[in-house]
Amino acid sequence: MTDKPAPAAAQSKIDPRLLEVLVCPATGGPLDYDKKAQELVSKKAKLAYPIRDGVPIMLPEEARKL
């Protein structure tokens, strides 16, 4: 049996329970999950937080401006 790394799409899955408790660190408001872009989007802050290897990077300085 060989140990092959999982495809990138499989590595970037995020636990739905985590999405229920995460809020935008800039506004404290709700986040929308963009599965295709692998981002958590704060419409109020107009920021998109990246998800890397299944881990949301919740730093405003790492977020992409919308």
Q: Is 59 inside any structural domain?
A: yes
What is the pLDDT, as a whole number, of residue 43?
Answer: 98
Q: Is 3 inside any structural domain?
A: no
Q: Is 31 inside any structural domain?
A: yes
Q: How many domains does the chain have?
A: 1
Domain range spanning residue 45?
8-65
What is the pLDDT, as a whole number, of residue 12?
Answer: 56
Q: What is the mean pLDDT of each run of 10 residues along the chain (66 residues)?
A: 46 78 96 96 98 94 97
Q: Which H or E run includes 29?
A: none
Question: Which residue, chain included where needed, has tokens 């636990």?
Answer: 15
What is the pLDDT, as a whole number, of residue 16?
Answer: 85
CATH number, domain at 54? 2.20.25.10
By residue count, the chain amounts to 66
pTM above 0.85, yes or no: no
Q: Is 57 inside any structural domain?
A: yes
Q: Which H or E run includes 14?
A: none
Residue 27 contacts residue 41 (beta carbons within 8 Å): no
